[in-house]
C-alpha cells in the first residue's frame, strides 16, 4: 500500500466518473461543437453568475490566459510572495505576458487591502511599471490551504474599482474554501473579474480547469487559449469528468478536511515536530525540530511507502484527497506516532 500525500492531483477517476467519461457526447470544441464541454462551461458560468466560462487543460494555462487578458507588456501585477502564479508557473507571467510581479509580504499567502493600496504605482509616474492587475489565491497553496477572509476580498475589490485594476482569483482549490467557510461560487463571482478553478485537484478529475468571467474580459480568452496551444478537440470526455465531479464529489471535500484536521492533532502531539500551520482545509504544512534530520525523516517515510512533499526551508506538505482512504489514514497516523 502506497500512501501518496504529495498532492490532491494524484487521484484516479472513480468508476462513476469513468462511466460518465466513456458515454460523453463529444464534438470538435475548437468549433465550439462539443456539447459536453459546452454543458460544463454553462454550468460553471451559471454557478459563478458570469456570462462566460472556458475549459482549459491546466490551471496554469487558465491563470496565464487571465494575466494576458488583464495586462499589456510592461505592466505590473500585485500578488502575494507565495503566489502560485509567481512561484510555480515557470515564470510564465513574464514569458507570456511580459509583466512583472509586485510581491506583497502577506500572512500565509493572504494580504490586506491597505497593502494593495501601498503597492499601486501612480499611473502618471511613467518611470515605474503601470499597475493593472491584482491577483488573489484561495485557498493558498504555499500558505497551507488557508482561506481568505471574504470581507478583505470585498475591500480589495473596492480598491481595484477606485484604481481601475483588474481582479483575478486563482481558485485552484476554491472548492475547498467554499466547503470550509460555507460560501458560494456566486459570492466570489460578484467580487472578481476572472476566476480560474481546477477540476483536477480535490474534485478528483484526471484533467481540466475552467476560467470564468464576463464578456468584456472573456471575449479575447478563446484567442489567447488558442495562442497558448490549449484549443482541444473532442475534450468532452474530460469535461464529462468535471460535470460528474461537481455533482458527485464536491460535498465529500469535507472528508478530506476532517482527515487533515485529525493529522494536525496527531502531529501536534509528536516530539519531533516543531510547528504545524493551523489546518483549515486539505493541506498541512509542518516543520521538524531537528530530532530527525530531513534525510532521516524522509527515509522513515519511504520505508513505510509514505510520500510527502518538501516545500523547502525544512517545511513538509501533506495534502489529503479522494484516494486517501480510511485504512491509509489509520496506517499513516500509526506510523507518525511510532517514530
58 sits near ligand PLP (criterion: CB under 6 A): yes
In the bound complex, which residue of the shown chain has the CB atom lying closest to ligand PLP? 59
Calpha distance 57→334 (Å, rounded)? 38
Place of cell 509542518: 286
Residue among 36, 60, 249, 320 that touches ligand PLP (CB under 6 A):
60
Q: Is residue 176 helix, strand or coil?
A: helix
- What values do phi and psi take at 90, rounded to 5? 65, 25
Please state the closest distance from residue 295 (CB atom) to ligand PLP, in A: 27
320 is a contact residue toward ligand PLP (CB under 6 A): no
Q: Does 84 bind ligand PLP (CB under 6 A)?
A: yes
Q: Give the shortest CB-198-to-ligand PLP separation in angstroms.
A: 5
With binding defined as CB under 6 A, does residue 59 bind ligand PLP? Answer: yes
Residue 256 to residues 277, 283, 332, Cα–Cα distance (Å): 16, 9, 14
- Asked if 209 is part of the footprint of ligand PLP (rule: CB under 6 A), the reply reads yes
> Is 41 a residue that touches ligand PLP (CB under 6 A)?
no
The count of residues interacting with ligand PLP (CB under 6 A) is 12
CB of 141 to ligand PLP, least distance (A): 4
d(CA 313, CA 72): 35
Residue 76 or 281: the one with the smaller Cβ distance to ligand PLP is 281
Rounded to an integer, what distance in angstroms lies between the CA atom of residue 76 and that of residue 2?
44
**Contact mark string toward ligand PLP, 186..205, x via CB under 6 A:** ------------x-x-----
Considering the complex, state which of residue 107 and residue 289 has its C-beta at the smaller distance from ligand PLP: 107
N-term to C-term CA, the chain: 19
Q: Which long-range contacts (CB under 8 A, 24 or more apart) does 115-124 make?
A: 116/78, 116/156, 116/159, 116/160, 117/159, 119/78, 120/78, 120/159, 120/163, 120/165, 121/76
Please state the closest distance from residue 170 (CB atom) to ligand PLP, in A. 5
Q: How many CA atoms lie within 13 A of 183 on its CB side?
A: 23
CA angle centred on 46, ends 44 and 49, rounded to 5°: 110
156 touching ligand PLP, by CB under 6 A: no
Of 105, 179, 193, 191, which Cα lies nearest the Cα of 145?
A: 179
Which is closer to ligand PLP, CB of 84 or CB of 329?
84
Within residues 282-301, the interface with ligand PLP by CB under 6 A covers none
Q: Return the range that interacts with ligand PLP (CB under 6 A); candidates 55-63, 262-270, 276-284, 300-308.
A: 55-63
CB of 13 to ligand PLP, least distance (A): 16
- Where along the sequence are the contacts to ligand PLP (CB under 6 A)? 58-60, 63, 84, 137, 141, 170, 172, 198, 200, 209
Amino acid at each position: 500500500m502506497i500512501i501518496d500525500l504529495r498532492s490532491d492531483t494524484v487521484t484516479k477517476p472513480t468508476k462513476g466518473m469513468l462511466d460518465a467519461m466513456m458515454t460523453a457526447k463529444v464534438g470538435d470544441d475548437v468549433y465550439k461543437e462539443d456539447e459536453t464541454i459546452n454543458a460544463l462551461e454553462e454550468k460553471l458560468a451559471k454557478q459563478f453568475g458570469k456570462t462566460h466560462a472556458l475549459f482549459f487543460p491546466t490551471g496554469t494555462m487558465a491563470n496565464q490566459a487571465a494575466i494576458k487578458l488583464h495586462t499589456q507588456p510592461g505592466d505590473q501585477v500585485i500578488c502575494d510572495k507565495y503566489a502560485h502564479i509567481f512561484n510555480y508557473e515557470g515564470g510564465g507571467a513574464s514569458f507570456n505576458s511580459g509583466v512583472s510581479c509586485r510581491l506583497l509580504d502577506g500572512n500565509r499567502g493572504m494580504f490586506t487591502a491597505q497593502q494593495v493600496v501601498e503597492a499601486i504605482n501612480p499611473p502618471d509616474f511613467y518611470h515605474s511599471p503601470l499597475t493593472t492587475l491584482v491577483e488573489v489565491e484561495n485557498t493558498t497553496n504555499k500558505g497551507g490551504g488557508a482561506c481568505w477572509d471574504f470581507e478583505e476580498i470585498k475591500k480589495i475589490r473596492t480598491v481595484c474599482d477606485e484604481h481601475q485594476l483588474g481582479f483575478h482569483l486563482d481558485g485552484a482549490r476554491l472548492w475547498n474554501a467554499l466547503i470550509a467557510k460555507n460560501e458560494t461560487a456566486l459570492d466570489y463571482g460578484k467580487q472578481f473579474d476572472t476566476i480560474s478553478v481546477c477540476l483536477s485537484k480535490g474534485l478528483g478529475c484526471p484533467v481540466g480547469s475552467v476560467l470564468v468571467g464576463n464578456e468584456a474580459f472573456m471575449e479575447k480568452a478563446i484567442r489567447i487559449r488558442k495562442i497558448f496551444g490549449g484549443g482541444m478537440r473532442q475534450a468532452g470526455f474530460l469535461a464529462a469528468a468535471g460535470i460528474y465531479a461537481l455533482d458527485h464529489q464536491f460535498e465529500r471535500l469535507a472528508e478530506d478536511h476532517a482527515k487533515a484536521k485529525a493529522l494536525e492533532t496527531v502531529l501536534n502531539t509528536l516530539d519531533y515536530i516543531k510547528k504545524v500551520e493551523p489546518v483549515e482545509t486539505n493541506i498541512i504544512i509542518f516543520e521538524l525540530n531537528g530530532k530527525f534530520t530531513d534525510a532521516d525523516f524522509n527515509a522513515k517515510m519511504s520505508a513505510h511507502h509514505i510520500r510527502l512533499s518538501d516545500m523547502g526551508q525544512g517545511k513538509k506538505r501533506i495534502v489529503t484527497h479522494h484516494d486517501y482512504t480510511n485504512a491509509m489514514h489509520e496506517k499513516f497516523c500509526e506510523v507518525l506516532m511510532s517514530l
